[in-house]
Each structure stands twice: as structure tokens, then as C-alpha cells.
């Protein structure tokens, strides 16, 4: 019988650390506990609640981008307790520490880039790269820099999960949600997500003007108070728009997805809502409205991870508005669209298929030494991109 592999997952955390890639790592790690020995190293400024609450053994190690020696020593003490077969990093910060460890122990190192736009300028090299989006896959596959790297597209990273009907009852009572059709946007309230929030508001305003009894719930923690105030001004113009920021609802917000009929989602959030058979919409790079994702435009949205970078045309948005109104007026068509959404989850998003792909990647992975010059350039990249975090930490310390 083949011995169980041991996999060490690495991730960097700062701030509230409850974004999608923490959940993706946790899902992947927990999926393999029945076959592999797995544990997670949470590097950074904070121990992500998503990681700390996982059933997988996890360790928090402080890392600010500069202090590489101490984290490597601390992790080495863990690795010295038993052989590790794979190091698997989920961001470029933890990948830096992974490179030191990979060279020290001759362990294969895998890097997963969890979405986001294609790199511009310098971006760290790694011998094995897995991608969540086709957009990234095309970029890395066609880049001369990564011509000798193993590059794989593995988008599957979601599992079915339990709904908190207690939270949903509280929501319905607290916010007077009765017979409305509910549209849901779950995201952090920040400038980064402002466009998709405004598009969601525009959509519900438009549907209300067309006499459809629909309501929009915006669920997320406040990361930018100025943006929150801007959104609240829009909310005050329509009683069918509700902003929900309480931690009880924003932490593990996927537990309340069942309250909705339609979900405006991006990345992992899109996939989780699809697992609940919700009618799915995706933000548009340009224009005023999110767009209904159907068989006709699925690949366009999927290629860019259902992000705000998807380029829907004005005609796409016009047709989408017509199709949404058709669904609102036709219960049977709405039911069928929900079934199609769940079928897309099974085909493209479920970890059932993702597990097979990762197992193949882990079985084929081999150690490649990483040059010191590459590590030095990577270290400089981490330092440069961490300056803002240092500044905010210093500012907070000065002002108490």
C-alpha cells in the first residue's frame, strides 16, 4: 500500500483575512484529509478566522515581508518532525517562504494564483503553477518566462455546504423581507467592489421601475467608510435596497445564500451560489448593470473568473435585462434556470472533479532548485508590495 503523502499548505494573511482564497485553500485542504496528511501554515500579520476554524491542523507564524529568517526556522521545526512531500502556496507572499523551504528540504513547490488580473511587469517565477481562471492560464502558458514551468488550470474549488436557516429567519425578521424576489450581492464594502455594488443597485432600481417586486441585499464587512457612506446614500433612495454589515451575517455569509433567488457573484462566491441552484449574474467591466450568466455567455464570464473584468457589450446588458424580466414573469423558466446553474456547478466548480486534478498534479510534482537570484527578486517584490501595510500599521500605532 502506497504511504500517505504529507502536504504543507502556505498562505499569507492581513486584515480580516476572510476573502475567497482563504476559503478555497481550506476547502482543498479539508477535501484531502481522507487520503493525505495535511496541515496549513498561516503566515502574515493575522491568523485568518477561516483558517483557524478549519478541521485541518494549522499554525500561525508572524511574517511581515522582511523577517524571512525566523519564519523559515519556525516552519523548519514543524517539517523536521516528519517528511513533507509537497509545499503548496496560495499567494506570492507565502510563496517566498515556500522557496526557502523548498530549496532547504528538496520538496516540490506548487504555487496557486487565486484569480485577479494578469500580472503587469515583474511577477515571481515558480516551477509548478496552478490557476483558478482561464485568463491566467492563457497568460502563463504563453509567457516565455514560464515556458519551463508546469502550468495547470484547476478552477474546481467549491463544495456543497449547509445553510443557516436560523440566520435567514433573523434576516427576514430584522429587515422585513416578505414576498419579495431577492437579489443578493456578497462582497467586502470597498472601492474594489464599488462598481459591482452600484451595478446591482441599478439593476434593482430598474426592475422596481418596471413594477417587479424585487429586493437587493448587500452583505459584507465595511473596509472603506467613505465607500459605505456613498452606497448608503443610494440605499436611502430605494427602500428595496438593504445593506447588511453585522458580523453574524458577513462571516460565512454563504450560509445565507438560500435567502436569494438571484445572486450577483464573482470568483468563488459565484461558484458557491451556483451550488445552491441560484440564478447567477456577473458584474460587467463597462455599463450600468450586471449580466445574467447563461449557456450563451458562460465561457466569456468563466474565462475571467466571473470578475469585474468581464467585458459584456451594451447589447449583452440589454438582452440580460429582457431575460431577467422574462424569468421574473415565468416561474417555470425560473425553475429551469436554477437547475442549469446547479449543473454548471457540478461540471466546472465542484471539488469532486478538482480533487482528481490536484491528485494528478501532486503525483507528478518533482523538486526543481530555485536560483538565489530569483528568490532575491521575489523578496524585493514582496517588500515593495507590502509598503502600504507597513504604513497603515505605523499610522495606527502612532494614533493609538
Low-confidence ranges of the chain (pLDDT < 70): 1, 390-400
State the Cα–Cα distance between residues 255 and 263, nearest whole angstrom: 13
At the top level of CATH, the class of 6-159+351-398 is: alpha beta
Q: What is the largest CA-CA distance in the chain?
A: 66
Domains 6-159+351-398 and 165-349 equal at CATH topology level: yes
Closest by CA to 184, choosing from 232, 216, 222, is: 216
* Residue-level pLDDT at 389: 77
Local structure of residue 291 (DSSP, 8 states):
E
Q: Is 285 helix (H, G, I), strand (E, B) or coil?
A: coil
Q: And the C-alpha cell for 278?
A: 441560484
The residue ranges of every structural domain in the chain are: 6-159+351-398, 165-349
Residues 6+ apart with CB under 8 A from 293: 270, 280, 281, 282, 301, 306
Span 172-228, pLDDT tens digits: 999 988 878 999 999 999 999 999 999 999 999 999 999 999 999 999 999 999 999
Length in residues, the chain: 400
Phi and psi at residue 185, to the nearest 5°: -125, 115
Give the sign of the dihedral formed by CA 261, CA 267, CA 272, CA 275: positive
User: H/E element holding 89?
Assistant: strand 86-89
Tell me the fold of 165-349: Rossmann fold (3.40.50)
Cα 287 off chain centre by? 24
pTM score: 0.87
What are the residues facing 38 on neighbouring strands?
A: 7
Closest by CA to 249, choosing from 18, 13, 25, is: 18
Span 220-276, pLDDT tens digits: 999 999 999 999 999 999 999 999 999 999 988 999 999 999 999 999 999 999 999
State the Cα–Cα distance between residues 183 and 200, nearest whole angstrom: 8
* Residue-level pLDDT at 387: 85
Amino acid at each position: 500500500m502506497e504511504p500517505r503523502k504529507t502536504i504543507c499548505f502556505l498562505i499569507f494573511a492581513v486584515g480580516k483575512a476572510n476573502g475567497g482564497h482563504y476559503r478555497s485553500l481550506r476547502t482543498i485542504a479539508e477535501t484531502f484529509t481522507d487520503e493525505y496528511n495535511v496541515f496549513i501554515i498561516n503566515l502574515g500579520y493575522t491568523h485568518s478566522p477561516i483558517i483557524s476554524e478549519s478541521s485541518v491542523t494549522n499554525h500561525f507564524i508572524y511574517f511581515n515581508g522582511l523577517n524571512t529568517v525566523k519564519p523559515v526556522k519556525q516552519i523548519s521545526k514543524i517539517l523536521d518532525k516528519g517528511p513533507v512531500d509537497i509545499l503548496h502556496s496560495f499567494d506570492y507572499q507565502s510563496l517566498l517562504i515556500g522557496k526557502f523551504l523548498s530549496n532547504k528540504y528538496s520538496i516540490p513547490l506548487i504555487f496557486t494564483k487565486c484569480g485577479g488580473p494578469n500580472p503587469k511587469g515583474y511577477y515571481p517565477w515558480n516551477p509548478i503553477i496552478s490557476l483558478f481562471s482561464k485568463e491566467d492560464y492563457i497568460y502563463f502558458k504563453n509567457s516565455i518566462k514560464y515556458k519551463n514551468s508546469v502550468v495547470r488550470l484547476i478552477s474546481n474549488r467549491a463544495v456543497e455546504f449547509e445553510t443557516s436557516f436560523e440566520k435567514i429567519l433573523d434576516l427576514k425578521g430584522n429587515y422585513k423581507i416578505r414576498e419579495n424576489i431577492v437579489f443578493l450581492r456578497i462582497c467586502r464594502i470597498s472601492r474594489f467592489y464599488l462598481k459591482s455594488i452600484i451595478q446591482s443597485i441599478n439593476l434593482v432600481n430598474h426592475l422596481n421601475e418596471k413594477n417587479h417586486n424585487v429586493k437587493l441585499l448587500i452583505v459584507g464587512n465595511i473596509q472603506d467608510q467613505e465607500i459605505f457612506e456613498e452606497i448608503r446614500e443610494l440605499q436611502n433612495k430605494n427602500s428595496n435596497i438593504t445593506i447588511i454589515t453585522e458580523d453574524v451575517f458577513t462571516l460565512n455569509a454563504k450560509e445565507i445564500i438560500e435567502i436569494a433567488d438571484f445572486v450577483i457573484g464573482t470568483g468563488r462566491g459565484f461558484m458557491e451560489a451556483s451550488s445552491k441552484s441560484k440564478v447567477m449574474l456577473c458584474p460587467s467591466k463597462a455599463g450600468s448593470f450586471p449580466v445574467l450568466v447563461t449557456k450563451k455567455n458562460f465561457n466569456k464570464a468563466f474565462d475571467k473568473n466571473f470578475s469585474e473584468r468581464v467585458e459584456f457589450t451594451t447589447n449583452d446588458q440589454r438582452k440580460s435585462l429582457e431575460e431577467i424580466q422574462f424569468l421574473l414573469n415565468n416561474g417555470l423558466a425560473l425553475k429551469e434556470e436554477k437547475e442549469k446553474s446547479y449543473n454548471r456547478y457540478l461540471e466546472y466548480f465542484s471539488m469532486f472533479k478538482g480533487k482528481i486534478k490536484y491528485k494528478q498534479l501532486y503525483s507528478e510534482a518533482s523538486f526543481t532548485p530555485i536560483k538565489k537570484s530569483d528568490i532575491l527578486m521575489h523578496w524585493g517584490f514582496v517588500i515593495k508590495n507590502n509598503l502600504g501595510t507597513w504604513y497603515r500599521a505605523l499610522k495606527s500605532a502612532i494614533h493609538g
